[in-house]
Amino acid sequence: MSTKVEHREFQAETRQLLDLMIHSIYSNKDTFLRELVSNASDALDKLKLEAFRDKDLDVDTSDLHIELDTDADARTLTVRDNGIGMTRDEVVDLIGTLAKSGTAQLRGALSAAQNAESAAAAEELIGQFGIGFYSSFMVADTVTLLTRKAGEKTATRWESSGEDTYTIEEVDDAPQGTSVTLHLKPNDEDDHVRDYTSEWTLEDIVKKYSDFIAWPIRMQVERTTTVGEGEDAKDETTVEVKTLNSMKALWTRPRDEVSDDEYHEFYKHVAHAWDEPLEIIPMKAEGTFEYQALLFLPSVAPFDLFMRDAKVGVQLYVRRVFIMDDCEELIPPYLRFVKGVVDAQDLSLNVSREILQQDRQIRAIRRRLTKKVLATIKDLRTEQPEKYRTLWTQFGRALKEGLLSDTDNRDLILSISAFESTATDRGDDADESARWTSLAEYVERMKPGQDVVYYMTGESRQQIENSPHMEAFAAKGLEVLLLTDPVDEMWVDAVPEFEGKRLQSIAKGEFDLDDSEDEDSEAKRDEREKQFADLLAWLGDALGDHVRDVKISSRLTTSPAVLVGDAFSMSPTLERLYRASGQPVPVTKRTLELNPDHELVKALESAHSASTDDAELRDTAELLYGMALIAEGGELDDPAAFTRKLAQQLTRSLG
Ligand code: ADP
Ligand code: MG
């Protein structure tokens, strides 16, 4: 007796994803089993914990296991667990939709992958998003899921052929837990798809991908033996239950006894990831706080790394018992890309989030893990630069958040950070190795007499390189760090120095790049200040709404003017970031610096000394200010007024 079958549509992104799966340009189809086993294992972990916490929950946890069941004639494979199960709503949420944020990113990535129609593009997509349950459709043309949540009476049956729709219905009697039945695609010799009803194939795949799973993965196998002799001999078939995996928790085994492949598969299980880890970090602490940890640095950033609800943290186990996913108390947010497990000896299985937040032991573990991860990255930098560059390109932006939030480790983070600079190559050509510099390398290249590290923040490398601020630095061959990540705007204000060298924005504060010992140039500057004094005073007044002050500049070689903030003012990029996030931004006026050698400035000076104040001259002043804004990539307050004035001036110059 079952209620009516409901037909539902997959959401558009899910459909596209399924389409990719069904036409399976993904090369390694065996991985579907890893995903189903991984889900079953998670479900068993959850049930064990739930049963421990909720003594009233009426479930039998005496024989938690995973079962593989095949039918060669019907060509089906069933993966069954007696774990936590799902309610109807959970099935709809978890299985029927891609209930993950970032659908916009996924949509973009999907259409790119589909257009490319290449295995590489699909692989990259899958590496970033993970596919999980849907990977079944690589090998099945229909998938049936039957599940009953622990403690509930009714079960849910879900079925789909991976096209536009799925069906869902209530079912009265089903064992507690979940079974996923794959109706396998026809065997196609050319497709190199293996026979997933074969005992040997399944055993091989489980050994390869899921050996460490902590629950037994069982299969019934038929064994035919010959009994009797001669005339009386006959074949007897018995059914045996065989456990396919060794079930050893990987983090408890010494590193040299575990192969890299085993570690990699374990990583995919704990991280729900499809990429290969870049680095494996086993840890063991004895003494007051005893724990073992197995951490991984991934090689591909997940699509949601910079989204508000990005997952932070590693799995927490207590004496081999799974306690929680994403334990944020164990890893600081800026290391949210680190995945893995921590298995603590001395915590209670009842430990709650609230307790974890107060716990001294947890805080100590977090400090140790943080240090260990940073030290590992430091080693990568010197010993495996290519891996380090991958890490930096994928996760550098997140790591730099630590410069703000983790003051204890700030120097260490600074020392393992990489930056673009005027002395490094642009990232767009093939050689990534020349794109980055460390601060130590910058310091080595500093000019004699240079005692600060120059940097400029902005939206892109090109914008900064072409900004007027850069002119004198380029002319004098002074290296400038080019900081273009939004997070750069934040940490530069919090980090005063690196190894005693102050960090100094070239867009802020006063600069004197002339050699100050040179008395001639000093005299020349005084003379100029006098020559331009009237103009500067008048401009200061005429542009009083926009700028604090007008001065002669030593930063410029080719541009007529530049806007300079004081040491504590916000950079224009930071102002834009604040505005974009809807936060009020205090109006900060900056100083307008003029290039006394520029023809326009000279002409303005003579025009001004000839006729003290007129409308035309005021327009020119406004234009000069507008040009300085545009040159640094800023936005005009009133673009229409600017273009009107510009049109008038151009007309005059032509007429
Ligand atoms: P992920 O495992 O990365 O969350 P999946 O697509 O593999 O993504 O699974 C989606 C969700 O469906 C899981 O998070 C889990 O909540 C639920 N789920 C899948 N398989 C099972 C199962 N065998 N038992 C209980 N819940 C399951
Ligand atoms: Mg999964």
Q: Which atom of ligand 1 is nearest to the CA of 131?
A: 6
Task: Give 136's DSSP letter.
Answer: G
The CA 133 to ligand 1 mean position distance, Å, reads 7
Residue with tokens 């680190």: 338
The CA 32 to ligand 1 mean position distance, Å, reads 13
Give yes or no for a contact between 18 and 162, defined as CB atoms under 8 angstroms apart.
Answer: yes
Q: Which of helix, strand or coil describes residue 343?
A: strand
The CA 132 to ligand 2 mean position distance, Å, reads 4
Q: Is 272 in the pocket of ligand 1 (CB under 6 A)?
A: yes
Q: Is 402 in the pocket of ligand 1 (CB under 6 A)?
A: no
Q: Which atom of ligand 1 is nearest to the CA of 130?
A: 3
Token pair belonging to 216: 């037994």
Question: What is the predicted pLDDT for the residue at 583?
Answer: 79
Q: What is the mean pLDDT of residues 558-562?
A: 93
User: What's the pTM?
Assistant: 0.83
Give the model's confidence band at 176: pLDDT under 50 very low, under 70 low, under 90 confident, else very high. Answer: very high
The CA 180 to ligand 2 mean position distance, Å, reads 13
Domain ranges of the chain: 6-226+236-243, 250-378, 419-506, 519-653
Alpha helices in 400-438 (DSSP H): 402-405, 410-415
Q: Is 36 in the pocket of ligand 1 (CB under 6 A)?
A: no
C-alpha 127: how far from its chain's center?
A: 12
Q: Which atom of ligand 1 is nearest to the CA of 95?
A: 12
Token pair belonging to 632: 């640094």
Q: Is 86 in the pocket of ligand 1 (CB under 6 A)?
A: yes
**pLDDT tens-digit readout, 413-451:** 999 999 999 999 886 665 777 889 999 999 999 999 899
Checking if the pLDDT of 654 tops 70, the result is: yes
Q: What is the mean pLDDT of residues 82-110?
A: 76
The CA 479 to ligand 1 mean position distance, Å, reads 51
User: Given ligand 1 and candidates 36, 133, 149, 182, which is best to mutate, with the most ligand atoms within 8 Å of its CB?
Assistant: 133
Q: Is 14 in the pocket of ligand 1 (CB under 6 A)?
A: no
- Residue 476: phi and psi, rounded to 5, are -90, 0
Q: Is 618 in the pocket of ligand 1 (CB under 6 A)?
A: no
The top-level CATH class assigned to 419-506 is: alpha beta
DSSP per-residue codes, 511-564: ---S-TT-HHHHHHHHHHHHHHHHHHHHHHHHTTTTEEEEEE-SS-SS-SEEEE
Checking if the pLDDT of 345 tops 50, the result is: yes
Q: Is 135 in the pocket of ligand 1 (CB under 6 A)?
A: no
Q: Is 81 in the pocket of ligand 1 (CB under 6 A)?
A: yes
Give yes or no for a contact between 85 and 43, defined as CB atoms under 8 angstroms apart.
Answer: yes
Task: State how far the Cα of 159 lies from the Cα of 181, in Å rounded to an integer.
Answer: 9
The CA 40 to ligand 1 mean position distance, Å, reads 8
Report the alpha-carbon angle 198-199-204, nearest 5.
100
Checking if the pLDDT of 2 tops 60, the result is: no
What percentage of the chain has pLDDT greater than the value 90?
57
SS (H, E, C) 477-501: CCCEEEECCHHHHHHHHHCCEECCE
Architecture of domain 519-653: Up-down Bundle (1.20)
Q: Is 130 in the pocket of ligand 1 (CB under 6 A)?
A: yes
Token pair belonging to 477: 């061959």
Task: State how far the Cα of 119 lies from the Cα of 26, in Å rounded to an integer.
Answer: 6
Closest CA to 297 of 214, 208, 434, 392: 392
**pLDDT tens-digit readout, 34-61:** 999 999 999 999 999 999 989 899 899 9
Q: Is 133 in the pocket of ligand 1 (CB under 6 A)?
A: yes
The top-level CATH class assigned to 6-226+236-243 is: alpha beta
Amino acid at position 491, single letter: W
Classify domain 250-378 at the CATH topology level: Ribosomal Protein S5; domain 2 (3.30.230)
**pLDDT tens-digit readout, 288-335:** 889 999 999 999 998 889 888 888 889 999 988 889 999 999 999 999
Q: What is the mean pLDDT of residues 93-116?
A: 64
User: Given ligand 1 and candidates 47, 59, 94, which is best to mutate, with the most ligand atoms within 8 Å of its CB?
Assistant: 94
Token pair belonging to 80: 């069954």
- Residue 633: phi and psi, rounded to 5, are 85, 15
Report which protein residue has its CA nearest ligand 1's atom 18: 39
Closest CA to 40 of 242, 213, 265, 248: 213
Give the model's confidence band at 1: pLDDT under 50 very low, under 70 low, under 90 confident, else very high. Answer: very low
User: Given ligand 1 and candidates 18, 42, 82, 147, which is best to mutate, with the most ligand atoms within 8 Å of its CB?
Assistant: 42
Task: State how far the Cα of 236 lies from the Cα of 253, in Å rounded to an integer.
Answer: 41
Residues 6+ apart with CB under 8 A from 97: 10, 11, 14
Cα-based distances in Å from 229 to 223, 226, 233, 236, 312: 18, 8, 4, 13, 66
The CA 310 to ligand 1 mean position distance, Å, reads 18
| Distance from the first to the final alpha carbon of the chain | 92
User: Given ligand 1 and candidates 17, 32, 39, 89, which is best to mutate, with the most ligand atoms within 8 Å of its CB?
Assistant: 39
Question: What is the predicted pLDDT for the residue at 225?
Answer: 87
Question: What is the predicted pLDDT for the residue at 138?
Answer: 87
Cα-based distances in Å from 296 to 205, 269, 314, 442, 444: 23, 12, 10, 30, 33
The CA 161 to ligand 2 mean position distance, Å, reads 19
The CA 36 to ligand 2 mean position distance, Å, reads 7
Token pair belonging to 318: 């207590």
Task: State how far the Cα of 100 lies from the Cα of 176, in Å rounded to an integer.
Answer: 26
Checking if the pLDDT of 26 tops 80, the result is: no
Q: If you average pLDDT over every residue of the chain, what do you get?
A: 88
Question: What is the predicted pLDDT for the residue at 162?
Answer: 85
Q: Is 45 in the pocket of ligand 1 (CB under 6 A)?
A: no
Report which protein residue has its CA nearest ligand 1's atom 19: 39
Question: What is the predicted pLDDT for the residue at 97?
Answer: 63
Least confidently predicted of 9-18, 114-123, 269-278: 114-123
Number of H helices, E strands in the chain: 21, 22
Largest CA-CA distance found in the chain, in angstroms, rounded = 129
Q: What is the mean pLDDT of residues 260-275?
A: 92
Report which protein residue has its CA nearest ligand 1's atom 1: 132
Residue with tokens 């020559």: 531
Task: State how far the Cα of 121 lies from the Cα of 106, in Å rounded to an integer.
Answer: 13
Task: State how far the Cα of 640 lies from the Cα of 191, in Å rounded to an integer.
Answer: 63
Q: Is 399 in the pocket of ligand 1 (CB under 6 A)?
A: no
Measured from the Cβ of residue 11, the count of other Cβ atoms closer than 10 Å reads 14
Which ligand does the CA of 95 lie closest to? Answer: 1
Q: Is 39 in the pocket of ligand 1 (CB under 6 A)?
A: yes
The CA 350 to ligand 2 mean position distance, Å, reads 25
Which ligand does the CA of 91 lie closest to? Answer: 1
Q: What is the mean pLDDT of residues 477-481?
A: 95
Task: State how far the Cα of 435 lies from the Cα of 178, in Å rounded to an integer.
Answer: 50
Give yes or no for a contact between 346 and 359, defined as CB atoms under 8 angstroms apart.
Answer: no
Q: Is 35 in the pocket of ligand 1 (CB under 6 A)?
A: yes
Which ligand does the CA of 43 lie closest to? Answer: 1
Report which protein residue has its CA nearest ligand 1's atom 5: 132
Token pair belonging to 511: 């600069």
The CA 91 to ligand 1 mean position distance, Å, reads 9
Report which protein residue has its CA nearest ligand 1's atom 20: 39
Q: Is 277 in the pocket of ligand 1 (CB under 6 A)?
A: no
Give yes or no for a contact between 239 and 220, defined as CB atoms under 8 angstroms apart.
Answer: yes
Question: What is the predicted pLDDT for the residue at 191?
Answer: 61
**pLDDT tens-digit readout, 135-170:** 898 899 999 999 999 999 999 999 999 888 899 999
Burial class (CB in 10 A: 0-12, 13-18, 19+), 154: middle
